[in-house]
Structure 1
Amino acid sequence: MSAEARLREQVCLFAKSLYDRGLTPGASGNISARMEDGRLLVTPTGSCFGRLDPARLSVLDQNQRHVDGDKPTKEVALHAAFYETRPAQTGAVVHLHSTHSVALSMLPETDPDNMLPPLTAYGIMKLGKVKLLPYFMPGDPAMGDAIRGLAGKRSAVVLAHHGPVVAGKDIEAACYAMEELEETAKLAILTRGLHPNMLSEAEIGGLVRTFNVEWED
């Protein structure tokens, strides 16, 4: 099996896993993965993560032009911005409409610069600080501009009223980090108002230093 064929299978495998566990409903969400020659495999517009066909994935050239497969997601600009601003660290991008992270994005007390409270070590290790971006109409190219405005300093963002976007070194890393984001958002919702014990600044600092976490102010 060629490297491209393996990557096509991986995209569909991880997408179905996310769908089967209710992390993105209906025909929502999109995934992209960079091939060895710099082209992108992208999930098609209007497609369901539970029923993707590896042979029908969209293919974009190095300039994000559609060259093969079904019509790509309308949110290509969102993905392209991560590949442009974090080229060395980004081999895949995952965008979902997951319930708890969207819910957290709508609460007025959520910190837009670091929207996940420091509840678990892995939330910090896998994600660093998660930026809450404002609402954009789905497909609006301005979403990509907002990510470019972060100058490559964040690997994960949440679009208010919409959903999270995570970039990783490969599709496995991006999906696992995405799952950590949603689970941490779930914990934040479950413990809201209960005054949970947070990780201390010293404990956060230890994680950042030990695991080389991106932790920009």
Structure 2
Amino acid sequence: MTKQEKADDIHRILEELYPTVPVPLDHVDPYTLLVAVLLSAQCTDVRVNKVTPALWALADEPRLMMEQPVEDIRAIIRPCGLSPTKSAAIKELSRILVEDYGGEVPQDWAALESLPGVGHKTASVVMSQAFGVPAFPVDTHIHRLAYRWGLTTGKNVVKTEKDLKRLFPEESWNKLHLQIIFFGREYCPARGHRMKTCPICGPYGRRSLLNKEQ
């Protein structure tokens, strides 16, 4: 079985299991999605979704957020971890959005990635989920699964993103990265993985030289 054949089968399995997928982070517009994704760094989506209602009650748009004391933002988002860095980034990116972009989140890769606290993965999520631009956000979880499934030999998320973009059609990227996240949580966790019953690793885990057991 070639790597492309494996990718095609994995795509088919994910489509069967997750024909529709919601965005895991609660949000109402590009700005709240941007902030939620920033908060999700080294934090679970579940915890972020518990924290953001209080944050939106404080300020749910850039102009209001830039006016808040950073200490007040930090107090709310503390459960997400890295609160000193994240709170400063949220306040500063809000100021930049107001002063440079009319209070709107820019639909532009370079502009997004230049914002405080916003890296390529965060920009990819916003571009794909807020604006519908084809992107393949790769975090450590997707990187782990792609390596486990033999879809990449990359040692970092940059190489993994390139490999996945080559294997899957562009029109599938925005949905597929969410399908992989949901599949990983339900069937293919880092710990306690039951290979024999995993819909993907069961058929391929022991037969493909491209796949390494984790």
For Structure 1 versus Structure 2, the TM-score category normalised by the shorter chain is under 0.3
TM-score by length of 2: 0.28
Which has a greater percent of strand?
1
Which has a greater percent of helix?
2
TM-score by length of 1: 0.27
